[in-house]
Amino acid sequence: MLKKSMLSKRLKSLGELILHYLPESRKVIDIGCDHALLGEYLGMREDNVEYIGIDRSKPALERTKSYYKKQYTYIPSGFLINTSNVKLLHQTGQSLQSEKSLILIAGMGGEEIIKIMRESVTKDCIFILSAHKNVNKLRKFLADSGYKLIDETVIFDKNHYYETLIVSKNATEPIHPWGSKLWESHDSQDYLKHLISREKPYIAYTGNAKYLKFLESFLC
Q: How far is it, in rounded angstroms, from Cα 37 to Cα 196? A: 34
> Of 112 and 151, which has the nearer Cβ to ligand SAM?
112
Is 31 a binder of ligand SAM (CB under 6 A)? yes
Binding mask 80-99 toward ligand SAM (x if CB under 6 A, else -) reads: -----xx-------------
Is 56 a binder of ligand SAM (CB under 6 A)? yes
* CB-based contact 39:53 (threshold 8 Å): yes
Q: How far is it, in rounded angstroms, from Cα 55 to Cα 32? A: 4
| Minimum CB distance to ligand SAM, residue 145 (Å) | 17
> Of 36 and 167, which has the nearer Cβ to ligand SAM?
36
How many helices (H) and strands (E) in the chain?
A: 10, 7
Is 133 a binder of ligand SAM (CB under 6 A)? no
DSSP 25-69: T-EEEEET-TT-HHHHHHHHH-SS-EEEEE-S-HHHHHHHHHHHH
Is 18 a binder of ligand SAM (CB under 6 A)? no
Q: What is the DSSP letter of 83?
A: S
Q: Which stretch binds ligand SAM (CB under 6 A): 29-37, 39-47, 72-80, 191-199?
A: 29-37
* ∠ CA 56-45-89, rounded to 5°: 25
Binding mask 153-192 toward ligand SAM (x if CB under 6 A, else -) reads: ----------------------------------------
Is 52 a binder of ligand SAM (CB under 6 A)? no
Task: Order the strands of the 160-168 sheet from edge to edge.
Answer: 79-82, 50-54, 27-31, 102-108, 126-131, 160-168, 148-157
Q: What is the phi/psi pair of residue 180, to 5°?
A: -135, -75
> Of 83 and 208, which has the nearer Cβ to ligand SAM?
83
In the list 15, 43, 107, 110, the residue contacting ligand SAM (rule: CB under 6 A) is 107
* Count, residues in the chain: 220
Q: Which stretch binds ligand SAM (CB under 6 A): 17-25, 41-49, 50-58, 184-192?
A: 50-58
Is 116 a binder of ligand SAM (CB under 6 A)? yes
Q: For binding to ligand SAM (CB under 6 A), which residues are involved? A: 11, 31-34, 54-57, 60, 85-86, 106-108, 112, 116
